Structure 1
């Protein structure tokens, strides 16, 4: 069963709050361009990989508070979308395209793009805070976990910060820039279902590492029409890349090893088999076919 409709509905509800639409016709007036940009930045939703992992973990652990799980999934996706808006800005990647359409700063201008990313980050934590009326303990732990995986010292802000350093710690860079939100996904899924977060760290860490290698393969081998965003960015910005380090065959081998370890790291839970299947299906989605063909050729 696809979780995308559930995720899209949760994200849409969150955006409605951010736009003031949830208050009804008598609500406070809002700046319409910024309200429009919030919707633009979160749709179409792409693969929704991170919230899919989160809900899959929650379901594997029983999903006894689906409202909390939905809020966690929406909050995680809002943070991810915010990071894309900021990554595309001229001060970072200066990317013209995202998900096959003009990036937010190209469509709305740089000032509104900055505000859009900021608003999505704040909205993510508001969505989680609202779940406090359902389960205050879970809400507090979700807020803390997402904050830790978003900011410093080991969240996606730290990942972006490594690119300004003269010497990059490659493991820390990848774990922060790419891996942090995957770790958030597995841990927040467990928390939303009332389970301890720590046993789920390794699964998220390994999925994040696999996604980083797959992203390196896509950046090196795919074209802009396939990805819906600029390619060759690692080479252009002088960033570390698994393909440059290991070659296509070596990167594919590392990817397969990481994914095998990810499945083996799944904690014991009622939905363990279904979760292993989800990880396998996710792997099939993230491995670019160009890399498969190059490895075979």
Structure 2
């Protein structure tokens, strides 16, 4: 079974937990709406790739970790799109959850997905309590404060922004979670060794996202464009210009590959990182360069 199938199956199975019993139908429907279609599912793909590189000796735990991470990511998108944050009408080419279901249901959808993510990891304790506990801790640390995605959103309310810290928490946190959780799920003896890879991929993804936001239109992105400038958010394009941001992106991706720890699947993992790098790197229209 390929990775995409394993991840989609794990996410679908996890969402079904939140839709069981006498659940309110609109909120139940919103959980599926918020998690499908899945987009690139890059974070769980990285997690599973690291787990495979380390042996993937407990597939049930790896799949639970991948699903939990994707649920947290989807929850963050639902909340990011709310009027109090980005006020975005589109996400992945369709109406955002608050547009399709209402603002109250969008808040509840995001909250429910967060809680569901930790329930999924809690259930994995039946397979391996030690690994499940470590997965819960890692995901919690990369979701909340002081260095998780909540902190990343919080930086946008500060008058002075540390761009590196902002990127590391807003986007990098879940990529660090991906590499650490993949190693933990497969029983790697030193999950800390995988943090640099996650940090590099996360920073690269944020720079690429800044470039796409500046260069592409809403139809191409499947979500509103020009949001960084509209909301006066810190971005790599604002700091370095388009050409400088592209150079920065290439440097980061080179560092990501060199940071991969020694493991049985090191070569295959490097190929995956290169493939994701090609997908990440936007092509800048000549008139947009600055």
> What's the TM-score once normalised by structure 1's chain length?
0.95
Structural mapping, 1:123-142, within 5 Å: 123-142=116-135
Deviation string 1:20-77 (CA, Å, 9 cap, x unpaired) is 1xxxxxxx31100000000000000000000000000000000000000000000000
Partner SS state of residue 288, structure 1: coil
Q: Given the superposition, is the C-alpha separation of residues 192 and 105 from structure 1 closer, same or farther in structure 2, using an over 3 Å criterion?
A: same
Moved more, 224-233 or 159-168: 159-168
TM superposition shift of 1:253: 0.7
Cα separation, partners in 2 of 1:69 and 1:293, compared to 1, 3 Å: farther
1:108 aligns with 2:98: no
Q: Distance in 2 between matches of 1:103 and 1:158?
A: 23
Q: Select 1:269's aligned residue among 251, 263, 268.
A: 263
Measured in 2, the distance between the counterparts of 1:168 and 1:244 equals 13
Matched, 1:157 2:127: no
| SS of equivalent to 1:111 | helix
Question: Structure 1 pair 295/2, CA: closer, same or farther in 2 (3 Å)?
Answer: farther
Aligned equivalent of 1:287: 281
1:72 paired to 2:65: yes
- Structure 1 counterpart of 2:88: 95
Return the offset for 1:115: 0.1
Instruction: Show structure 1 runs of 5+ residues with no match.
Output: 21-27
Q: Which residue of 44, 61, 67 corresponds with 1:51?
A: 44
2:204 maps to 1:215:
no
**Could you say which residue in structure 2 is the equivalent of 1:198?**
192
Can you list the C-alpha shifts for 1:188-243, whole angstroms capped at 9, x where unaligned? 00000001210000000000010011001000001111110000000000011111
**CA 295–275 in structure 1, closer or farther in 2 if over 3 Å, else same:** farther
Question: Within 1, Cα distance between the matches of 2:221 and 2:282?
Answer: 10
Counterparts of 1:85 and 1:295, CA distance in 2: 30
Report if aligned partners of 2:242, 2:289 keep a CA contact under 8 Å in 1. no
* Offset at residue 2 of structure 1 (A): 4.8
Match of 1:24 in 2: none
Which TM-score applies when normalising by structure 2? 0.97
Paired with 1:111 and 1:296, the residues of 2 have a C-alpha distance of: 41
SS of equivalent residue, structure 1 residue 90:
coil
